[in-house]
Chain A
């Protein structure tokens, strides 16, 4: 039986770029997924925003690397993955939010991020037609952007296959085989495979895989809904993030929502419900459309005339502090976490993939070590990310 250098469980936002990195480094790589093809769990539910402007330094570093990979992909490999460097704009409609955003900007600038707090005039330029009543201003980070999750993941997938990575679909991992505290293989519904290294990249299902090695991962999926419109001529390029909470007695309160216009001219939007909807339910609800339509039209009245084409629901694998869990664990040798991306697996994926590869190849830089310590599963999950 062939022995794999690494088996990655999950062919999604994190697993596929990880396989891209390991296969490029000539590790014999196998990716296993329960679904019939690549990126069919929650990658395709992601709306496609990519930013480095987080408030947590490890995430900033990981996403800076991701942006490098996304933004140069077409140039390097030729696949159009619809990368567009449109920036991100977090809006402040209260003094409190203005202060919070200004503080994060300070911190982010400290990490060398290109971000500014700008006034309402600049915001109006960035988002033509915005209803600027009570608008204090917002952040603008022009180097952030967006990209098609569907096209990027498939491009990563094809290149990893060209590098020699193997994929098994329609196959569910049912056990991780260990011997004397070390991983020796993986058992699936169809087969068994030999390896000494397993990467858990199973998004919403991370906990189930963690259990196989006796680890209780603090990852709990939450359900968010999203939608897409018909295409119209592009009239804004930034990701708009409205962090105001809203009260909606009939259809449910929400924490925030965000949207952008993609390369094809379609507007893609997503809402964070309040309270969180825990669980793995991906079935569309009737409340989402009135909930989000009211919020988006209040903010940008001209959207009343754009036709909504489709809606869907996806899962955010949340951790208690809103930050991912990365790296090895103490009890089992050969097991590596790449979980708890909190809905940012797509933007974190390429950066995470490379660092996982450096863990496997024992090639960690000082910064890598800092990231892994930061995001280790044995950390105290107390310092909450401001811009989840």
Chain B
């Protein structure tokens, strides 16, 4: 089975193996894991074929939104990514339209409950949790709903350490740990009711929010105040092969690997060099999956330089000013073709290169999930929005904006509080500023004693190193969180390693000249092995420009406060001691491109609406006919009228309008309607839906 059995950060839980059938074949999965992950465990990535054109369908959002992963479970069409696997389940692939099972025994129907609450918070990610914490601390009655079975939203997928400040946003802790901290503090609040596995499906004009509760029940919640913290969704790209199973978002990948511990791929290629793409690459390596490469269309990665450096040091080739040309393969991704862009964003002829890979992760940015906020505003509800739903930013910002918007609710209720909203907002704005270009780090000429070296080369809002030093010898310039850190050197460094262990960028080393001036000992953080790496082992030392050679470990330790970050010390010649930034456990080799380039499709044949299989050509045809109203385009082509409700194709269609020379102000945007996700009719009538009747 393709499950992850060791992981440097994540605990591997004991999971109960159960048997199930897929298309008649007996397979093994883990009890309670979603069907899609159970199929991936068994290397099944094609879940069915689309009714329109027979194209293979599989995982895309892994988030209950898109219905691409429909399968028939015990006779009933379900979303594989949301339905837990049960013992003995009979699963069939969904080829064409599913048959509605003829279960014709009359059933009892009933009324869903209407529940009044003071505040409804939608989304228990960083924003929703920090907001709920504030509201609960002040004794407000809150219902907090989230569609997942864990508090923390996307934090539970983040195995890396977070940026920001320790005091405000738990910097230096991993996303999974922050989820735990925030989640626990919320669970302790007496006036807060947490509903997990509960998806908000619509905000209605009568002020009621429909909730698919526990995935099987319907509740109608009527809040006095609504806080929307629904996060973001991933953007897609238009390229040939973009709907092949194996092309999906970085978020979907993290769900498979870090939540379900499924080794969903052997070798991935990442499109997009923002933080999401860079981090997904790092997570893949931690999960034992090879990262073949990463393309970034801009001349520089948009994500933090320290994230990029982490990947580069691990030998991942990053192709700057390159874009994806096509995903190749018949039923599955078999390779990717990339090409270099010139200054006008045209592909440079002859620059095309094809790499073998079985998965392509799209990480080209996020869009706010703000439909509920927009609807609630339209319906004159008292509504606030926080986190990515308000504006796309880091999770640390979401923790802030959640707090701010919760305080605004307190203000609305005339409750006194100590915090100053303007100050918090200022800080949130600082955290949101786009980082400037990286700079070249300059190091002290000093070659004696022991001191930390900061390979931190970009002014990003982050300073946990300044708060962990027991000697209080680390500061940022002018004490600003967006400035670079430095070692004050007024008191002696005691070599505790806290700064090395806490740095989210893995960009601090400790250089110790005390024993041997010519061969100082350098300490690095390592979070790539589930086993403790011991003294005497040989590791490869790397700088940001490449490998520096193989060296023997002279000391290895783990600080109790940072249990998943090993501190590895090696002796290095003084000539390279300051260049060395990290270590890896073995040499890595670059993947050579293969000599294969599939003739690209006509641009017009590329699918733009995955749900209804509408291609670019059809959209262009109607734009050229004169269509400027999204609603008219929907009526004509069905694009945006599928299961997902236009979540993926809307921004892509906007780009085609743009390519056709139609400016944004000439376009009428389409109407958004409930439901947010498809819900079985029986749920609204309180019918107990039993599988396998």
Whose C-beta in chain B lies nearest to the C-beta of A292?
Answer: B684
In the assembled complex, which residues on chain B have CB atoms less than 8 Å from the CB atom of A304? 103, 107, 680-682, 685, 687, 689
**Interface size class, chain A:** 35 or more
Does B372 interact with chain A (Cβ within 8 Å)?
no
Does A184 interact with chain B (Cβ within 8 Å)?
no
How far is A308 from B218 in the complex, measured between Cα atoms in Å? Answer: 13
Give the contact stretch, choosing among A63-71, A87-95, A195-203, A309-317: A309-317
Instruction: Pick from A38, A265, A289, A310: contact of B684, CB below 8 A.
Output: A289
Q: What is the interface size of chain B, counting residues whose CB is below 8 A from a CB of the partner? A: 54
Residue among B67, B106, B674 facing the most chain A CB atoms (10 A cut-off): B674
Does A274 interact with chain B (Cβ within 8 Å)?
no
| A253 → chain B closest CB, angstroms | 14
| A129-B104, A309-B643, A311-B673 known; A283-B112 Cβ under 8 A | no
Contacting pair A230 B643 (CB below 8 A): yes
Contacting pair A37 B631 (CB below 8 A): yes
Whose C-beta in chain B lies nearest to the C-beta of A44?
Answer: B635
Q: Which of A285-321 touch B at CB < 8 Å?
A: 285-287, 289-290, 293-294, 296-298, 301-312
Does B102 interact with chain A (Cβ within 8 Å)?
yes
Contacting pair A36 B101 (CB below 8 A): no
Does B591 interact with chain A (Cβ within 8 Å)?
no
Does B313 interact with chain A (Cβ within 8 Å)?
no
Does A281 interact with chain B (Cβ within 8 Å)?
yes
Contacting pair A233 B98 (CB below 8 A): yes
In the assembled complex, which residues on chain B have CB atoms less than 8 Å from the CB atom of A283? 204-205, 378-379
Q: Which of B638-688 touch A at CB < 8 Å?
A: 643, 645, 668, 673-675, 678-685, 687
Contacting pair A311 B102 (CB below 8 A): no
| A44-B631, A129-B102 known; A296-B643 Cβ under 8 A | no
How far is A251 from B684 in the complex, measured between Cα atoms in Å? Answer: 12
In the assembled complex, which residues on chain A have CB atoms less than 8 Å from the CB atom of B679? 307-308
| A40-B632, A293-B681 known; A284-B100 Cβ under 8 A | no
Contacting pair B629 A305 (CB below 8 A): no
How far is A304 from B684 in the complex, measured between Cα atoms in Å? Answer: 9
Whose C-beta in chain B lies nearest to the C-beta of A269?
Answer: B681
Does B56 interact with chain A (Cβ within 8 Å)?
no
Does A276 interact with chain B (Cβ within 8 Å)?
no
Residue among A232, A265, A309, A310 facing the most chain B CB atoms (10 A cut-off): A309
Does A151 interact with chain B (Cβ within 8 Å)?
yes
In the assembled complex, which residues on chain B have CB atoms less than 8 Å from the CB atom of A301? 103-107
Contacting pair B205 A298 (CB below 8 A): no
Does B1 interact with chain A (Cβ within 8 Å)?
no
Contacting pair B103 A290 (CB below 8 A): no
Does A229 interact with chain B (Cβ within 8 Å)?
yes
How far is A296 from B107 in the complex, measured between Cα atoms in Å? Answer: 11
Does A352 interact with chain B (Cβ within 8 Å)?
no
Does A131 interact with chain B (Cβ within 8 Å)?
yes
Does B599 interact with chain A (Cβ within 8 Å)?
no
Instruction: Pick from A290, A297, A307: contact of B218, CB below 8 A.
Output: A290
Instruction: Pick from B98, B632, B635, B685: contact of A297, CB below 8 A.
Output: B685
In the assembled complex, which residues on chain B have CB atoms less than 8 Å from the CB atom of A294? 109-111, 684-685
Does A133 interact with chain B (Cβ within 8 Å)?
yes
Does B424 interact with chain A (Cβ within 8 Å)?
no
Does B27 interact with chain A (Cβ within 8 Å)?
no
In the assembled complex, which residues on chain A have CB atoms less than 8 Å from the CB atom of B683? 293
Contacting pair B202 A229 (CB below 8 A): no
In the assembled complex, which residues on chain B have CB atoms less than 8 Å from the CB atom of A233? 96-100
| B676 → chain A closest CB, angstroms | 10
Instruction: Pick from A39, A284, A302: contact of B101, CB below 8 A.
Output: A302
Contacting pair A310 B681 (CB below 8 A): no
In the assembled complex, which residues on chain A have CB atoms less than 8 Å from the CB atom of B643? 230, 309
In the assembled complex, which residues on chain B have CB atoms less than 8 Å from the CB atom of A309? 643, 645, 675, 678
| A230-B77, A308-B681 known; A284-B674 Cβ under 8 A | yes
Contacting pair A154 B635 (CB below 8 A): yes
Contacting pair A290 B681 (CB below 8 A): no
Instruction: Pick from A230, A284, A296: contact of B678, CB below 8 A.
Output: A230
In the assembled complex, which residues on chain B have CB atoms less than 8 Å from the CB atom of A303? 100, 681-682
Instruction: Pick from B205, B645, B678, B684: contact of A290, CB below 8 A.
Output: B684
Contacting pair A293 B102 (CB below 8 A): no
| B248 → chain A closest CB, angstroms | 21
Contacting pair A310 B674 (CB below 8 A): yes
Instruction: Pick from B103, B204, B208, B673: contact of A305, CB below 8 A.
Output: B103
In the assembled complex, which residues on chain B have CB atoms less than 8 Å from the CB atom of A37? 627-629, 631-632, 668
Does A235 interact with chain B (Cβ within 8 Å)?
yes
Contacting pair A231 B51 (CB below 8 A): yes
Contacting pair A290 B685 (CB below 8 A): yes
Does B206 interact with chain A (Cβ within 8 Å)?
yes
Does B477 interact with chain A (Cβ within 8 Å)?
no
| B288 → chain A closest CB, angstroms | 37
Q: Which of B173-232 touch A at CB < 8 Å?
A: 202, 204-206, 208, 210, 218, 220
Contact with B along A264-287 (1 / 0, CB 8 A): 010000000000000001011111
| A40-B629, A133-B106 known; A310-B673 Cβ under 8 A | yes
Q: Which of A2-49 touch B at CB < 8 Å?
A: 36-40, 44
How far is A235 from B102 in the complex, measured between Cα atoms in Å? Answer: 10
In the assembled complex, which residues on chain A have CB atoms less than 8 Å from the CB atom of B379? 283
| A247 → chain B closest CB, angstroms | 12
In the assembled complex, which residues on chain A have CB atoms less than 8 Å from the CB atom of B218? 290
How far is A308 from B679 in the complex, measured between Cα atoms in Å? Answer: 5
Contacting pair B67 A285 (CB below 8 A): no
Q: Lowest 8 A-B CB distances belong to which pairs?
A: A304-B682, A283-B205, A150-B635, A37-B629, A293-B684, A286-B208, A307-B678, A286-B204
Interface CB pairs A-B, < 8 A, 10: A44-B631, A129-B102, A283-B378, A286-B206, A293-B109, A293-B684, A297-B109, A301-B103, A305-B76, A307-B679
Residues of A near any B CB (own CB < 8 A)? 36-40, 44, 128-129, 131, 133, 150-151, 154, 229-233, 235, 250-251, 265, 281, 283-287, 289-290, 293-294, 296-298, 301-312
A290-B684, A303-B100, A310-B645 are known; give 5 further A-B pairs, CB within 8 A: A131-B104, A229-B681, A265-B97, A284-B205, A311-B674
